[in-house]
Amino acid sequence: MSKTKVMIIGSGNIGTDLMIKIRDTSERLEVAAVIGIDPDSEGLAMARESGFETSHEGIDGAERLAIWDDVQIVFDATSAAAHPRHNEACRKTGKQMVDLTPAAIGPYCVPVVNMTEHLGEPNVNMVTCGGQATIPIVHAVRRVSESVPFAEIVASVSSKSAGPGTRANIDEFTQTTARGIEIVGGAEHGKAIIILNPAEPPMLMRDTIYTLSLGADEKDIEESIADMIKDVQRYVPGYRLKQDVQFERFGIDRKLNIPGYGETAGLKTSVFLEVEGAGHFLPKYSGNLDIMTSAALGTGERIAELKYGVAA
């Protein structure tokens, strides 16, 4: 059975992990080429060993490859600054782009929340690793509430799992994640913080989500979060609660003061997550990268099925 040919731009940690995931697990996608800018990168070496076309001359080198015309989906695992040029090249030749950078040129896509809403778009954005881990929880609270006036997430990852691309995108990470919390998660106001933790041995990704909601009770929220975690675990088995969901009510006589937002009343929900990676290429503590590549893989496979008619 014919598979959809894909190209990965970016031969760093994220691009290499995605390459291995597609090579070893995908029934719909086939890696045609891997593109980088460092001729000595480990990712390009592994791609060559796997028999894939490669170029170390970026998007210009990609366009010169004979396989370029056969590629239907392009995954961008580079940086927010580089993405616009890659997007332009793909749009000119009608290629579908799945963006793993925080550039956010295309609409945000979080598979368990809005997988099918934007698959007809020429560019879909995977938000950020923190967004992929936390936006599902914000949405889980929002879908059983009248409203979520405020949501804040704190993503703490091992500094060893944050490569040059991640570090170059810190500002874009916080901005894009906060917007994703609002647009996809459904919060009226979103805030995002990332912490690179240098602890040894390296820690697993930890995510803390705080929401302030109106019009829902603890039981409904707890059940909605439990269902959402099961949904995410279908493609990220190491996604789990670190402890029980916690609740605290604030009323007119005891308001919650949120810095930068103000005093308000409602139900505060605190969710503490841990994300362990699958270990395809990256160490298992790099759950932050694993959830990103897993989400991108799932999105690419769904595009192949719906847009190009490739069945499993």
CA dist 249 and 275 (Å) reads: 28
CA dist 179 and 52 (Å) reads: 36
Assigned token pair, 123: 């560019």
Angle, CA 103 vertex, CA 90 and CA 294 arms, to 5°? 80
CA distances 113 to 58, 110, 133, 232, 299, Å, are 33, 5, 12, 10, 12
Residues 141/269, Cβ–Cβ less than 8 Å: yes
CA distances 76 to 91, 165, 279, Å, are 13, 12, 21
Active centre residues (catalytic):
129
Residue 269 phi, psi (nearest 5): -115, 130
3-class secondary-structure state, position 191:
strand
Residue 75 phi, psi (nearest 5): -95, 125
Assigned token pair, 176: 């894009």
